[in-house]
A and B are shown apart, each in its own frame.
Chain A
Amino acid sequence: MARQQGWFALILALAIAAGAVLASFPLQLGLDLKGGSQLTLQVMPTGSIKTVKAEQLEAVKDVLDRRINGLGVAESTLQTVGDDQLVLQLPGEQDPSRAAKVLGTTALLEFRAQRPGTEQQMTGLLKLKRQAQAVLNQRRQRSQALAEGQPTPAGEPPAASIPAQELAESLRSLGVTVPAGSGETEQLELLLAEVNRRIVELYEPAELTGRDLTAAGRQQQQTGNGWDVTLSFNSEGGRKFAALTQGIAGSGRLLGIVLDGRSISEASVGPEFKPAGITGGSASITGNFSAEEARDLEVQLRGGSLPLPVKLIEVRTVGPSLGAENIRSSLVAALSGLALVAVFMVVVYRLPGVVSVLALSLYALFNLALYALIPVTLSLPGIAGFILSIGMAVDANVLIFERVKEELRAGNTLIRSIDTGFSLAFSSILDGHVTGLISCAALFALGTGLVKGFAVTLAIGLLLSLFTALTCTRSILRLLTSYPALRRVTYFLPARQQPAAAA
């Protein structure tokens, strides 16, 4: 008996510890339960790099980490998943579009001088660019005003536009094929993208890139209401910038600022810089940015450019009240399922049934404590895995008690029946749990996000149920049967099923 009491003391101590763990470490809820956005990014191999290596993934993660911190979203987490994916979680964030924009761009900044002898082409392209930008800007402002419900201001200047014929002509000359049925805005955007691409072709290779940047900032323009992004270079960058500007000063050629292969700003350098170039190691990009665009660009530039491009492959957004609804309904389901099982066990198995309900409550407690301790982030599939593992735990108890009943029917004594029941049921319980764990291992190793959460909770449940079914149930049962008052076969088996000899 001393041994049984030792086990019982251990179980009691574990239960108290589990309770303490639950009280001090809160359970971590997944975004599908508390609301928020989750973005999955795929790192794309480019050029000479065919596969993404671990250190490249880490380098991408470092850059993205800096960018997210610049955004100032509370409690965001960025984790690497598998060989080439990153998952960003933004709890409470309802609109992931800004994060998506800031994360998704490479932010490769280049300063490039215009090639000699391309002045004429450049003038033509820049004219087209200004026209298209003016029309698009005006449209954007108008649709924004419309969306915010503001009345269109009276005395508004006549809408800038490019005659349809002229637009079609320019598109054709640039070799842009327009998808059928596209509106004027879309055509203008296609035109602008093509023009920006062609402008970049007129530049010489980059001499100076964002790597030589030490700081980025932004300031409001003195005239107009746009924003500029200011840059500071390190000493080498300052030298390169001076040489670059010296080379084109007064020649009429332009200095192009290229971000991710798009020309975002073209600047002319006056003849006064001919002797030494622009010195001082700083510059500003005048791109007529909005306050928000300027801030995002600043964050990207400060975080550095991505060593490899990334692609957004998954976005999941769950509203907070939807998450609360999910918690509530799965909690109701779990509790009512447990209650039904408890009633069933007590009705069918009597005293051992009560013991197994006790053991199952301990099982649920240990499970939750482990979730808090590891920690396992509870998501909906995870809760489903938990509920299912309860089913497996009950199965272990059913197997044991059926065996005990059989032994009792065969006329064995109570204590002997309990011992034989446990030892005979062991091999099937072990086989069942091992096959379950094999499935979990396969799911965890090969599955993705949702599937992994399910595999983790089911595996924890299976391991724990081996422990509770074989130890908790047994110790409690042995402890109870050490009291003669409880050592009655009728508490285990209805009298009509008992063999005549044992009655």
Chain B
Amino acid sequence: MTSSPQPGPLPNPRFRITRHRRLAWWGSGLACLLSLVGLVLCWLNPDIRAPLRPGLDFTGGTQIQLERACGANCAPLSASELQRSLSRLSLPAEPGASAPSLNAAAVQVLDQGRSLVLRLPDLNPDQAAAVVAAVQAEAGPLQAAATSVNTIGPTLGDQLLKGSLISLLVSFAAIAVYITVRYDRIFAGLALLCLGHDVLITCGVFAWLGLLAGIEVDSLFAVSLITVAGYSVNDTVVVFDRIREQKTVLRDLALSDQVDVAVDATLTRSLFTSLTTLLPLVALIFFGGSTLFWFAVALTIGIAVGSWSSIGVAPTLLPLLARR
């Protein structure tokens, strides 16, 4: 120890993560297992048939959001009744093609009957206008300025899904190459493992949400996954950076002790950073409106898990892998 170039005693970490590593591994393993179960159950579910419940962006179709102009005292509206009258509606057909049937239309009534969300098969603008007119006849006057109609053709849904998956994989690969260049292969492998862990758990939570609450994933969810991946690597890299920096100073200590020192030194930073990132996200959840709500939820879960894995998973696995 006297050979250390820096004078003074060696740091004595207050918090030794490697002493709790079994607990950390069990916790993360269990969370990953639950996520996998959720994804598989989603896949086996005859309604979904995919690891996550795909939204309009990926399946294609038309979504119409309407607001009724009835203020505080809206006449009650039954979703199933509206659904039935929509299925009786015959739509204007395009020349050479028959009009889509509305039997599979799904109607949701929100905000104590003030707003409506309709999920329909792929409609052209004329047909969408006919549906809005039909709802108007049933539900009374609507606020034209608060209407939103989104139509995604089936080919575009396919393209969005493919684009999201490819950009996810490409960014993972590029990040791995960067870390291999800046650090080494073991660090890159661990950073990717952590990244997989964070992305898997975020997906798992949404698989369960899809199963239990019918929450769908859209292209914003893909964006949130990529952001989570970026943050996860960033968090892990900060800890690894510290381990590398101390390598010469602490070269007499066992690797697991070096890890303890590095984690302890960066712990405050890791927690504070997650906290300062989570603060705007929480603001987005509470005030951001419905469009960004689930996006913010996905990011909050991902960043919280990411900060956990950078403290509890990546550093504790390092001594195990580096020994070989």
Which A residues are within 8 Å of any B CB, using their own CB?
32, 35, 40, 42, 94-97, 99-101, 147, 179, 182-183, 185-186, 189-190, 193, 262, 311-322, 325-326, 329-330, 332-334, 336-338, 340-341, 344-345, 348, 380-381, 384, 387-388, 390-392, 394-395, 398-399, 402, 406, 410, 424, 427-428, 431-432, 434-436, 438-439, 441-443, 445-448, 450-451, 454, 458
When A322-B147, A451-B222 are in contact, do A432 and B234 touch as well, CB less than 8 Å? yes
Quick check: is B256 within 8 A (CB to CB) of the other chain?
no
Bound-state CA distance A315–B265 (Å) is 52
Give, as a whole number of angstroms, the nearest-CB distance from B156 to chain A.
4
Cβ < 8 Å to A, chain B residues 117-170: 124-126, 128-129, 133, 143-153, 155-156, 159-160, 163-164, 166-168, 170
Interface pair A448/B163, CB less than 8 Å apart:
yes
Interface pair A337/B148, CB less than 8 Å apart:
no
Interface pair A315/B166, CB less than 8 Å apart:
no
When A325-B289, A329-B288, A398-B272 are in contact, do A337 and B93 touch as well, CB less than 8 Å? no
When A96-B125, A319-B147 are in contact, do A311 and B276 touch as well, CB less than 8 Å? no
Bound-state CA distance A389–B192 (Å) is 22
By a CB distance below 8 angstroms, the chain B residues around A42 are 153, 155-156
Which B residues are within 8 Å of any A CB, using their own CB?
8, 65, 67, 90, 93, 95-96, 98-99, 124-126, 128-129, 133, 143-153, 155-156, 159-160, 163-164, 166-168, 170-171, 174-175, 178-179, 182, 219-220, 222-223, 226-227, 229-230, 233-234, 237-238, 241-242, 245, 265-266, 268-269, 272-273, 275-277, 279-284, 286-289, 291-292, 295-296, 299
Give, as a whole number of angstroms, the nearest-CB distance from B159 to chain A.
7
What are the 9 tightest A-B residue pairs by CB atom distance, in nearest-first order? Answer: A337-B280, A313-B153, A391-B277, A97-B125, A442-B171, A337-B283, A432-B234, A329-B289, A446-B167
Bound-state CA distance A448–B129 (Å) is 27
By a CB distance below 8 angstroms, the chain A residues around B182 are 431
Complex partner residue of B170 from A315, A334, A395, A442, CB under 8 angstroms: A442
When A313-B153, A439-B230, A448-B160 are in contact, do A326 and B289 touch as well, CB less than 8 Å? yes
Complex partner residue of B223 from A315, A319, A428, A450, CB under 8 angstroms: A450
By a CB distance below 8 angstroms, the chain B residues around A445 are 167, 170
When A42-B155, A340-B279, A438-B175 are in contact, do A186 and B167 touch as well, CB less than 8 Å? no
By a CB distance below 8 angstroms, the chain A residues around B179 are 431, 435
Interface pair B268/A332, CB less than 8 Å apart:
no
Interface pair A438/B178, CB less than 8 Å apart:
yes
Interface pair B280/A341, CB less than 8 Å apart:
yes
Complex partner residue of B280 from A313, A387, A447, CB under 8 angstroms: A387
28 contacts between A and B (CB under 8 A): A35-B145, A97-B128, A186-B90, A193-B96, A312-B153, A313-B152, A313-B155, A314-B153, A320-B145, A321-B143, A321-B146, A322-B148, A326-B289, A329-B287, A333-B280, A344-B275, A348-B272, A384-B220, A384-B295, A395-B234, A402-B272, A406-B265, A427-B245, A431-B234, A438-B175, A438-B178, A442-B170, A442-B174
